[in-house]
Structure 1
Amino acid sequence: MKTAGIVLDKLNDSNPTRHGLAPASLPAVYGAEPRGQHAAREALAAHVNGDGRLAPPVDPDRLYLLSSTSEAYAWLMKLLCDAGDAILAPKPGYPLIESIARIECVEPVEYNLRFDGSWTIDIPEIEALVEAGETDGHPVRAIVVINPNNPTGSYAKPAEREAIVDVARRHGLAIIADEVFFDYALEPFTDTAGDVVNRRFAGEDRVLTFALDGFSKTLAAPHAKVGWIETSGPDDDVAEAQRRLDVIADDFLPMGEMIAAAIPGMLQEAPAQTAKVRDRVRGNLATLHAMLAADDLGVVDVLRAEGGWNVLLRFPSVIDENDLVLRMIRDFRTSGQPGYFFDMTSNGYLAISLLPEPGDFRRNVGTVLEAVAAELGQ
C-alpha cells in the first residue's frame, strides 16, 4: 500500500497533532519521519551539493537529521556493532569517541597518527589491528576517520584515504568519517599545481561510508543542535544499512520539528558564518606564529595544523603538563587541556583554541609563554 501511495487510516493513531489537539504555539502536524523532515533534508542536500566537494551529489533520502554528531556516533555503533565488537579510532584524538563506545558496549581500539613535521596515519597498524580483531573475539566493524582530526588538525592525505578505503573493502568494514572541521583549512598541503589536496570521504561509493557533519561547525552554532549523517557506498549495502538505521532513528525519534523547519533559513547564513570563522582562526594562527617567533626564550612551538579550530603547542618535556596547567590556573586564572587529554604519546603538549577574539587570543598565548618561562625558572 505504501509503495502504491495509498495512505491507510489507523485505529491506533495516538499522535495528538493528527486529531486537532496540538497547542496553538505548535500547530503543525507531527510527521515523525525517521530520517528527519523531508523539506529540511532537501535544503541540506542542496547546501551540501553546492560546496564544491568533488563527490557524487547526495540524495536527500540518504541523509539523517539528528541532534549532534555525538548522537550520530551512538546510532552508528548500534547499527554496526554487537556488544564486544570493536571500532578503530585515531590517537591522538578527542576522548568523546571512547566514552560513547563504552556506553554502547563497544570496544574502542586506537590506531596512531605519527608526527614528523606533519601528521600521518599509520596504515600498517590499522591493517594489523583489523587482522588481530578477527582472532581475539573483538572483531573490528568500522574505521573512524576524523578529517581533519582534532586536535592535530591533520587531513587524510590522498594516499591514506585510498589505503583506508582498501582496508575497509577487503575486510568488510564501514568507514565513519567525521568531517565537521573540513571547511576550515589552515595550512593544508597542496599538489604541484598549488591546489589543495584535501578531499572528503562523504560520497565515497566503493565501501559503506557514513559521513558526519553539523551546524556546530558549519554555522559555529552548537546550540542549534543540528547534525547529520550522509550514507554512501555500494547501493545494496546502503539499502540494507538504511533499512536498519531507519529502525534506530524511529526508535529514538528525529529532531524537533521546530528546529527542522528552521534549517533552510539557517543554511542561508552558512557561507557568511564559515567565512567569518575561517578568517578568525587564520588570523589568530598568524598571530600565534608571530608571537612564538618573537618570544625571547624560544622554547614553545606549534605543530603544523592543516585544518580545524585548535592547534597543539609543544613545550620542553622537562615541564610536567599538569604542573603547567596548574600554574596557569593559580597564577593567571586560566585553564587548558594538556596533551594527555588527547592520548598524546609523550609529555609536553597543550591544546589551544584559535576561536577567541584577537585580543583575548594574544592574552592566552602570552599566558602560556609566561607560565612556561616560570616553570623553567626564567
Structure 2
Amino acid sequence: MTVHFSSRVDISAPNPIAAAEADARAHGVVLGKLNDSNPTRHGLAPAEVPGVYTAEPRGPRPAREALARYLSDAGDSAAGSAPVDPESLYLLSSTSEAYSWLIKLLCDAGDAVLAPKPGYPLIESIARLECVDTIEYQLRFDGSWFIDTAAIEQLLYSEQGERIRALVLINPNNPSGSYVKPEERATLVRLCAERGIAIIADEVFYDYSLEPFDGNARLAGETGVLTFALDGFSKMLAAPHAKVGWIRVSGPENDVIEAQRRLDVIADDYLPMSDIIADRLPELLAAAPAQVARVRERVRGNLAALHGMLEGDEHGLVDVLRAEGGWNILLRVPSVIDENELVLRLIESHGLTGQPGYFFDMTSNGYLAVSLLPEPDEFRRNIRAVLDTVAAMLG
C-alpha cells in the first residue's frame, strides 16, 4: 500500500519563474539576483562568522558527506555494508525537531502515530503540539521485554487503524532498554508495508548495549518500508548541548522520492543547521568512537556494580529488570510501596528525587527509573539510598 502523506506540505508545481530558475541551475547557469538579500554575498558577513551562507535544506553538503562517511564506516545499518548516501540525510538541531518534522510530513490533524509504552512521554507531547494523537502499543515483560506484535496487527487492521500514519520504534527503548528483535522487526516491516505506514526509528541509544540478545541491528537503511532513522550527538557524544541530530531516509524507491519531495519543503522552511556547528562536524565525528567507548564503560561498570549491590543486599527487596541497552534501568520494588511515597521519602531522607514507573506508563506499580551515568561513587550512594529507603518503608 502507498504511504500516506499529509496535506499540510505544499508540493504544487512551481510558478514559471521558479521553474526557469531550476532549469538554469540544472544546466549550470548561475543567475544574478535583483532581490538578493543575503548579506554574506555582499561582503557584509562579520569577521567572527566569515564565509558565504548558502541555504541547503538538508544541511550543508560537506557536513552531510562527513556524516555519511562516518555512518558507512560504522557498517551497522540495515543495508549492511552499502555506503550511506549523503542525499538520504537531513541535519537538524535535535531528534525532537526530527519528530516534529516527520509528524508534519505524515499526519494531518486528527491522525495518529503508534508509540511504545512504557516509554518516554516526549513523543506524545510533540504529537499533541502538531494536533496529532498517539496510540500506545505495549512492550511486555516476561523475563525480558518484547513487542506485542499481534496486538499491533489487530490495531492496524481495526477501524482505528485507518488514521495511523507512523509506527515509532525506539531501538533500544527508554526506559526498558529493549532492542527491536529480528523477528519483531520482520513482522512490523511487513505490517507497515501492507498498511502504508512509515516507521520512525529512534536509535539514539543504539551504541550503548548492556545485556543484549544476539541479532540486534539498526533500522537505519531499512529497505522494506519507508523508514526514518533518527540519531544525534545528544547520545553519541553525550553532548545534548551540541544540538546536532539527523534523519536518514530509506525504503522503497518511490516512497523515498515522494517523502523527500515533501521533507525538503519542511526543511527549507526551517533551515535549522548552523554553519558554525556544521563546520565542526568532521572534528566531532572523529571524537565519537572514543566518547561512545567512554560512556559505554561507565554505564556497564555501574550496571555491574548494581548487580553486586543487589546480590549482596541482606533484605533482597529490590530487583533490576534486564536492560539490553541504553543509559537507564528500571528497578523493581515491592508493589505494596506507593511509587509517589517512595520518591517523596527519598527527597525527604536523602535529598534525591527520581522518576517512578508511572511516569513512563508502566502497567503496574513498583518501579523506579535510575540513570547509569553518574560517577561510580555517586551511583553507589544513589542505589544505597534506594535500598535503605525501601527497607525502612517496609520495616
TM-score (norm 1): 0.96
Match of 1:25 among 29, 33, 48: 48
Whether the aligned pair in 2 keeps the contact of 1:41 and 1:65 (CA below 8 Å) is: yes
Whether the aligned pair in 1 keeps the contact of 2:155 and 2:161 (CA below 8 Å) is: no
Structure 1 equivalent of residue 275 of structure 2: 257
Cα displacement string for residues 227-266 of structure 1 (whole angstroms, at most 9, x for unaligned residues): 0000001111111111110110111113111011111111
How far is 1:125 from its partner? Answer: 1.2
Q: Which moved more, 1:146-155 or 1:49-58?
A: 49-58
Residue 213 (str. 1) matches residue 231 (str. 2): yes
How far is 1:52 from its partner? Answer: 2.5
Structure 2 equivalent of residue 223 of structure 1: 241
How far is 1:5 from its partner? Answer: 2.3
Match of 1:152 among 176, 200, 206: 176
Task: Kindly tell me the number of residue pairs found equivalent between the two proteins.
Answer: 369
Match of 2:68 among 25, 39, 45: 45
How far is 1:348 from its partner? Answer: 0.2
1:43 alignment partner AA: A
Residue 203 (str. 1) matches residue 221 (str. 2): yes
Tell me the distance in 1 between the aligned counterparts of 2:224 and 2:162: 25
Residue 165 (str. 1) matches residue 189 (str. 2): yes
Tell me the distance in 1 between the aligned counterparts of 2:350 and 2:75: 44
> SS where residue 136 of structure 2 aligns?
strand
Tell me the distance in 2 between the aligned counterparts of 1:24 and 1:208: 43
Match of 1:271 among 289, 293, 296: 289
Residue 58 (str. 1) matches residue 84 (str. 2): yes
Tell me the distance in 2 between the aligned counterparts of 1:312 and 1:25: 47
Match of 1:180 among 201, 204, 220: 204
How far is 1:129 from its partner? Answer: 1.9
1:122 alignment partner AA: D
Cα displacement string for residues 115-153 of structure 1 (whole angstroms, at most 9, x for unaligned residues): 000000010111122223xx3496100100000000000
Whether the aligned pair in 2 keeps the contact of 1:35 and 1:254 (CA below 8 Å) is: no
Residue 347 (str. 1) matches residue 365 (str. 2): yes
TM-score (norm 2): 0.92
Structure 2 equivalent of residue 373 of structure 1: 391
1:106 alignment partner AA: V
Whether the aligned pair in 2 keeps the contact of 1:130 and 1:139 (CA below 8 Å) is: no
Structure 1 equivalent of residue 323 of structure 2: 305
Tell me the distance in 1 between the aligned counterparts of 2:25 and 2:160: 45
Whether the aligned pair in 2 keeps the contact of 1:299 and 1:316 (CA below 8 Å) is: yes
> SS where residue 74 of structure 2 aligns?
coil
What's the Cα RMSD here?
A: 1.0
Structure 1 equivalent of residue 111 of structure 2: 85
Structure 2 alignment gaps of length 5 or more: 1-23
> Sequence identity of aligned pairs in percent?
69
Residue 294 (str. 1) matches residue 318 (str. 2): no
Cα displacement string for residues 291-341 of structure 1 (whole angstroms, at most 9, x for unaligned residues): 000001101000000000000000000000000000000110000000001
Residue 9 (str. 1) matches residue 32 (str. 2): yes
Structure 1 alignment gaps of length 5 or more: 191-196
Tell me the distance in 2 between the aligned counterparts of 1:374 and 1:138: 51
Residue 102 (str. 1) matches residue 125 (str. 2): no
